[in-house]
Chain A
Amino acid sequence: MKKLTFLLLFTVVFSYCAMAWDNRGHSTIAYIAERHLTPRAKANIESYIGGRSIVYYASWMDFNRSTPPMDVTRDWHVDYWTDGHRTDADGNPQPPCSLTQVKRIVSEMGNFRELSDSLVNINIKYLVHLVGDMHCPVHIDFPTSRPMKIKIDNKTVKVHAMWDAYVLNSKHNGTSPMQLAEEFDILTAEQIAKVQSSTPDEWHNETVEVSKKVIDMIPESKKITYDNYFNEAIKYAEDRITVAGYRLAAILNSIFDK
């Protein structure tokens, strides 16, 4: 029964969120960030997004990636990687997408009060999502892992899809993002400050290393179980989500607490 429930529920998740951390993951990141926004930053941000919480827009980029003109952002979520170089899907060298976009937006938002409301609005939606994607291990897309397919029970899925929709939910399916944020947000002020002190380039490099680890962890048989993968992988997922939340807060505070 547990097996069937696992499969069915994950399938529901997978059906509408196969392109990033799923909505649970992105929302958890945004909730953690929201808990660490300064009152002034929070008020400024919400004034640009119709009074809503940033969590409401955590997966907005995924929801709209197929709709023009948002389809131009389709490739912003993933960084293709070949032999230590960042490339596009065809192997052409290029800067990492999510990192490049995050740095561009942070720079552009330095004077957010001089930008149009609509530009600030969409940049907030981009940041809330992309900082999360930057911390998702399989958003560093290696040629070796890209075509790799694994088996979960009797289902065959790609590694990226497994990380997007299965790993976090292997332990936390049914738990709300708000609850997960409470459970994950347990670092001390000193630990949080340390996590937030690094740069987006360093976050990116960190994700590259974690990505290699979680791909190396995949058993040769490619048959994924709790024992041989999920129980260990969940630690990485929880850590990346937590860290992403703190860092998203840091970025948003640096922009909007003024």
Chain B
Amino acid sequence: MKKFITIIIALLTIQSASAWSRAIHAGIAAIADANLTEQTKEAISQALDGRNIVYSAQWMYDMEKTKGYEQTKNWRSVAVAKNNKPLNAKKSLNHKEDIVRRAQGLEALATAIRAIEAGGLTKEQLADNIRYIVTIVGDLHCPTHYIYPEALELRKMHYFYNDKKQSYTGYWEHSSIAGTFNWKTNEFVHQLNRKTPEQIAAITKGSITNWVTKNAAEYRNIYTLLESGKKFSQKGLRVWQNSIYPISTEQAAIAGYRIAAILNGLFDSNVANVKIK
């Protein structure tokens, strides 16, 4: 029994080694979709051939091996300085560490937003940029998608369960929610789309760079939740998971509201644009 449990956990981790899982991305997109204005929904539906954004929640990942989209694999994370402000593209692209050079998520998001703001896109280009926004904003609310160049050893944190080594970042990306709740897309909405208008206003206040900076500071704390190398019993794992799922579910909700804020700003003439800086 223990062997099988270990295999499954390992499989889940491998399946999603560098992204929120498909279920979480879909859940985030569904929360966003529930907070789009009618005008925005209509514009997006036209751009996506009648589909909503949930359908494309992880499209960027699906496309990363397709010619012309290879660069998107570098758009999942963001590198930040010690003061938690995002490194500028030039600085991160010249960094000696590959993982920092590949952390171009914020730059890609900004490019997608600016492209839509500028207009003049073909239908396909507009659809691509909408999908980029949905996926990248989701990822920028996954704590392990923040790269701290001065502390890259955090990426190697791990634990043992049934004597098998498990990656901490892998746990966050898939099991931080699925290890506790077996939610489908509708359940993400039912359980998490519960903020008051005042709370949503507070969540979506400020610029995208502000959000990222604040996230970067807050997400450093997740590395205090695990003593790397710890060996968990089944009960110990459960207790530990209890410290994580409230954070991951909250971040999924926040991501959903922020995607909606960005898209409403871009497609609803009555809503102010979210500023990038």
A residues adjacent to B (C-beta < 8 A): 7-8, 11-12, 14-16, 18, 23-24, 27, 51-53, 55-56, 63-64, 66-67, 155, 157, 176-179
Q: Is the CB of A67 within 8 A of B9?
A: no
Q: Is the CB of A11 within 8 A of B238?
A: no
Partner of A23, one of B7, B180, B186, B239: B180
Q: Is the CB of A51 within 8 A of B190?
A: no
Report the contact-size class of chain B (Cβ under 8 Å from the partner).
Answer: 20 to 34
Q: Is the CB of B5 within 8 A of A12?
A: yes
Q: Is the CB of B1 within 8 A of A178?
A: no
* B218 part of interface (Cβ distance < 8 Å): no
Q: Is the CB of A16 within 8 A of B238?
A: yes
* B184 part of interface (Cβ distance < 8 Å): yes
CB nearest to A63 among chain B residues: B242
* B194 part of interface (Cβ distance < 8 Å): yes
Q: How far is the CB of B230 from chain A (nearest CB, A)?
A: 16
* B221 part of interface (Cβ distance < 8 Å): no
Q: Is the CB of A176 within 8 A of B186?
A: yes
Interface centre among A11, A52, A55, by most B CB within 10 Å?
Answer: A11
Bound: A155/B180 CA distance, A:
24
Q: Is the CB of B1 within 8 A of A67?
A: no
A15-B9, A53-B190, A55-B191 given as contacts; is B182 within 8 A of A176 (CB)? Answer: yes
Interface centre among A24, A157, A178, by most B CB within 10 Å?
Answer: A178
Q: How far is the CB of B262 from chain A (nearest CB, A)?
A: 24
Closest 4 CB pairs of A and B: A176-B184, A15-B5, A11-B4, A66-B235
Q: Is the CB of B4 within 8 A of A55?
A: no
Q: Is the CB of B8 within 8 A of A11?
A: yes
Q: Is the CB of A11 within 8 A of B5?
A: yes
The 7 sampled A-B contact pairs (Cβ below 8 Å) are: A8-B7, A16-B241, A18-B234, A52-B191, A176-B187, A178-B186, A179-B184
Bound: A66/B235 CA distance, A:
7
Q: Is the CB of A56 within 8 A of B184?
A: no
A11-B4, A66-B235 given as contacts; is B190 within 8 A of A178 (CB)? Answer: yes
Kindly list chain B residues whose C-beta atoms are within 8 Å of the C-beta of A15: 5, 8-9, 234
A15-B9, A24-B182, A52-B194 known, 5 other contacts, Cβ within 8 Å: A23-B180, A23-B182, A177-B187, A178-B184, A178-B187
Q: Is the CB of B238 within 8 A of A14?
A: no
CB nearest to B175 among chain A residues: A16
